[in-house]
Chains A and B, each alone.
Chain A
Amino acid sequence: MIKIEGKQTFLKILGMHCAACSYTVQKALVSVRGVKWAEVSLANNEAKLVVDPSVDYGELLKAVRRVGYDVYREAVYFNLDVRPEEAEAVVKAVGKWGVFTASFNPAFQLLYVEYNPLEVSVEGIMERLEKSCYKPRTVEKSEVEDIDKKLAEAERRDLARRLAVAAPLALFLAISMFVHIPPLFQLAAAAVVQFYSGWRFMRGAYRAFLNRTANMDTLVTLGTLSTFLYSAAAIFVGGPLFFETSALVITFVLAGRYIESRVRLKTGEAVRKLAQMQPPRARVRQGDSWVETNADSVKPGQLVEIREGEKAPVDGYVEEGWGYVDESAFTGEFTPVEKKRGSLVLAGTLLTRGRLVVRTTRSGGHTHLAEVVKLVRQAQNAKLPIQRIADRAAGVFTWVVIAVAASTFAGWTLAGSPMHTALLFTAAVLVVACPCALGLATPLAVVMGVGKAAERGILIKRPEALETAARAKYVVFDKTGTLTLGRPKLVKYIGRQEALSLAASAESKSNHPIAKAIVEYAGVGVEPEVVDTLPGMGVYARVNGVTVGVGNERLVEGMGATIPEELQREAERLREQHLVVYIVVGREVWGLAAFGDEVRPDAPETVSVLKKWGVEPVVLSGDSEKTVKTIAERLGIEKYYAGADPEKKAEVITQLRKSGVVVFVGDGVNDAPALSAADVGVAVATGVEVAKEAGDVVLRQNDLRKIAEVLQLAKKVVKTAKFNLFWAFVYNVLLIPLAAGLFYPIHLKPELAGAAMALSSISVTLNTLRSLNTIHDVKETRGVLRRR
C-alpha cells in the first residue's frame, strides 16, 4: 500500500447520481492545488481526501461547483465588535481548515462563515476567534434579519453614554485655557474622560495589540493617552497642561462614531425592509374556525386566510377566494396581479383587494422572501476586487502612521522644540489619520447597492461582477424572444373590414395566440352560433347564419374557396417575415391578415439608452437569419448572430470578450454555458427558485429596462467605492503632513485633528448613502430621450 503524506478530510457532495458523476467530482478535486489524493463514493455521497494542511477549501468548493455539483456546507453568523480596517485580520483568524468562505461585513459587524460540518463546528470556529482575542457571539439565523439594527442601537446607546460624560467635561477643560482651574481638578476631569469615555478605544487598542496589529483605536489611544500622561506629569514636574486636548479629541471621535453609527444603519435599510415584509402572524384554519398563530409554525398543507389589506404570511396556492395582489416587493412592479384558485401567492406580497384562502407550501425561513433576503445578505458580504488593495493598505496604514508620528516627535525634538510642542504634533498625527474610510469604502457601497437593487427587483448574487459590469462594452441578448413579446400581433390586414369582425367572432372562444391577436385587433365580435377548431387548418364558425373560416391555405381549400391572385401575391410577399392567415366568408376569401412577433415596448428604449452610454447591444439568437435580422433592424441593432446553438453562443461570446467586457442576458435555464462564458451573466427569471438560477445577476421581472438599471447601478457602486477610496487617500495624504507640522506655522491642533478625522469617516458614509439613494428608473431617462 502506498502511504500518502497529508491530512485527511471528508466532504459531502451534493447532486451525484451516477458513477460518472463521482469520477468527474474526483477529477475536479484532484486538480486543486494541495490535494494529494481523492476518492469520491457515490454510495454515501462522500469525498475522502488527503490534502496538504494548507489546502484552500474555497478552491475545493469552486472545483466541485465548476463541474456542476455542490458541497454540503453549513453557515453561521458571528457578531464581532471590530473596526473596519481589521476585516482582513478577522477573516485570517477564522482560519482555512474546514472553512469554505469567511467574510466580514464591517457595515453590520457581522462575520459570515461557511464551513464543513464534517471537519469543524461552530464552537471550533469560536475557539479560533477567541484565540485571536475576538469576542464572537453567534447570531441566530432568525436574528440575522435585524441584528444590524439591534447592534447599531446597542452601540449607539453605549456611545451616547460615553459622549454624555465626555462632552461637558471637555468643555469644562476647554475653559481652563482662559480661566484658571486648579490642576488637580483638571486631572480628575480628564481622567474620567480618558478612562471612562475613552475606554472603548483603549479596549480596542489592547485587543489589537494582543493580535500584534494596530487599528484606529491604537492611534486614538496613543494620541490621547500620551497628551494626558504628559499633562499629568507636568502638574508635578512643571510645564504646560493639555488636559483639554485629550478630552476634546475623545469627545469629537465619539461624536463622529455616534453619527456614523446612525447613518450606517441606513445603508442596510433596504434588506431590513424586505425582511420585515413577511408578517409574523397568520390565521390558520383549525376545524371550522380560524386561529391566529405564529407564521413560522404554519405547516405545509395548512390553510391560511388573507384579508384585504393584509400581507401573505406564507407561500402557497390559492384554494378559494379571489383578489388582487401587489407583488412589488419582488418585482418592483406596482401593478397588482390578479389571483384566483390555483394561483401562487408569495409571503410578503400585499392583498390590495379581495380575500384569499391559501394552501401553504412554505413558511418561515423557507419562503421565497426568506430565500431572497438570505441571498441578498450573503451578497452584501462580498467585497469589490478593488477593496482587496484597500484592505491590504489599511492593514499597514496604522503602522505607517505610528512610524510617521514617531519621526514627527523625533524631528521636532531634534529641531530644538520643547517636549510638549513635539508631543502635540505627534498627537495630531496619530489622531488625524483615518484608515476607516479605506476599510469602509467598498463594503458600504456594496451593502447599499445590493440592497437598493433588491428593492427594485434586481438580485445581485455576485457583487464582484458589478465592477466588471461597470465597464461593459457589449450587452448580448440571448434570443429574439427577449426583445419581442413572444406572441403574435396582427400587423397588416388586407381585405373587407366586415370580414375582420366576423373573424373576431369566430375566434372569440379560442385561446390560440392568433385568435387572441385577431380579437385584440378587431374587438370581441358577436356570439357565434357554431364554432369548431380544425387542427392544422384553422377555425370554422357560423356567425349570424354565415359560415366563416379563419386559417391557412388548407382551410381555404376546405371551405371550397380560392385565393384571388392579388391576395396570393401579397401573401407571398408578407410570408417573408410574417404568418399569413386568410378569412373565408361563405365560399369567398374576404381578407388576409399578417401576424408578426412584436418588439417589446421597453426594447427600443433600452437599446437607445445602452447606445447612449456607449454600450453596444448585440442579438445572439437561435432563430433564423430572417427573423433575427428583422428584429435587429427594427431596433437599430447592428450586431446580430442568427442560428446559434448554445455552444455557438458561448463561442461568439468568447470572441466578443476579446474586444471588451460582455454582459449576457439570458433565461438562465437554456443558456447556462453562455451565461458562464460572459463576463457578467444576467438571468431573467420569473420563477420562484431564484437561488438556483445561474448568473451573477437575476432579474425578477421580465423588463428590459432593468438591464440598463443594472449597468447604471454597477457604475454608481463602483464610482462611489472609488470615490470613497480616493477621498480616504487624499484626506490622509494632505492632513497627516499638515498635522506633523510640515507646513508650520500652518498646523493642526490635536483636537481639530480629531474633529477632522470624525468628519472624514462620516462623509464617506454620507457620500455612499447619497449617491446610491438615487438609483432611479431608467424610465426617467426616457424623459430625457424624448425631450431631445
Chain B
Amino acid sequence: MDVDPVCGMEVDPARAKYKTLYGGKVYYFCSQMCKEEFEKNPGFYLAHGPRGMPH
C-alpha cells in the first residue's frame, strides 16, 4: 500500500487511477483533486507530508 501524499489516505498502486511521476518516482492519489493539488506544488507535499483533503 502507498500513501496519498496530499491527503494521507492509503492507495493501492495496482488499482489506483490517479497517479503522477515526480522526480523519478510514481505517486498515487485517491482522487483527481489530490493529484491536481500535488502537481501544483509537489515539493511542498513531499517536504511537509500529507495535509488532509484539499478544499
Contacts and interface: CB of A to CB of B under 8 A. Distances in A.
Interface in A551-580: 555, 558-561
B22 interface: yes
Contact of A534 (B21, B23, B24): B21
B24 A560 contact: yes
A549 B22 CA distance: 12
Nearest to A537: B21
B24 A532 contact: no
A632 to B, nearest CB: 39
Contacts of A559: 21, 23-24
Contacts of A560: 22-24
Contacts of A586: 24
Q: How large is the interface on A (under 10, 10 to 19, 20 to 34, 35 or more residues)?
A: 10 to 19
A534 B20 contact: yes
A558 B19 contact: no
Contacts of A547: 24-25
B32 to A, nearest CB: 12
A534 B22 contact: no
B22 A532 contact: no
Contacts of A590: none
A540 interface: yes
B13 interface: yes
A540 B26 contact: yes
Interface residues of B, number: 9
Interface in B36-51: none
B13 A558 contact: no
Contacts, number: 30
Nearest to B42: A558
A587 interface: yes
Nearest to A541: B26
A532 B20 contact: no
B24 A555 contact: no
A502 to B, nearest CB: 14
A559 B25 CA distance: 7
Contacts of A555: 21
Contacts of B19: 532, 534
Contacts of A549: 21, 24
A546 to B, nearest CB: 11
A258 B29 CA distance: 84
Nearest to B18: A535
B34 to A, nearest CB: 15
Contacts of B26: 532, 534, 540
Interface in B5-22: 13, 19-22
A547 B21 CA distance: 12
Contacts of A587: 24
Nearest to A536: B20
Contacts of B23: 558-560
Interface in A493-552: 532, 534, 537, 540, 547, 549
A559 B19 CA distance: 13
Contacts of A534: 19-21, 26
B11 to A, nearest CB: 12
Contacts of A532: 13, 19, 26
Among the interface residues B13, B22, B26, which one has the most CB atoms of the partner chain A within 10 A?
Answer: B26
A126 to B, nearest CB: 69
Contacts of B20: 534, 537, 558
A549 B26 CA distance: 11
A558 B25 CA distance: 8
A581 to B, nearest CB: 15
Contacts of A537: 20-21
A81 B21 CA distance: 80
29 contacts: A532-B13, A532-B19, A534-B19, A534-B20, A534-B21, A534-B26, A537-B20, A537-B21, A540-B21, A540-B26, A547-B24, A547-B25, A549-B21, A549-B24, A555-B21, A558-B20, A558-B21, A558-B22, A558-B23, A558-B24, A559-B21, A559-B23, A559-B24, A560-B22, A560-B23, A560-B24, A561-B24, A586-B24, A587-B24
Pairs A-B, 8 closest by C-beta atoms:
A558-B21, A560-B23, A560-B24, A559-B24, A532-B26, A540-B26, A558-B22, A547-B24
Given A555-B21, A561-B24, 7 more contacts: A532-B26, A540-B21, A549-B21, A558-B22, A558-B23, A558-B24, A586-B24
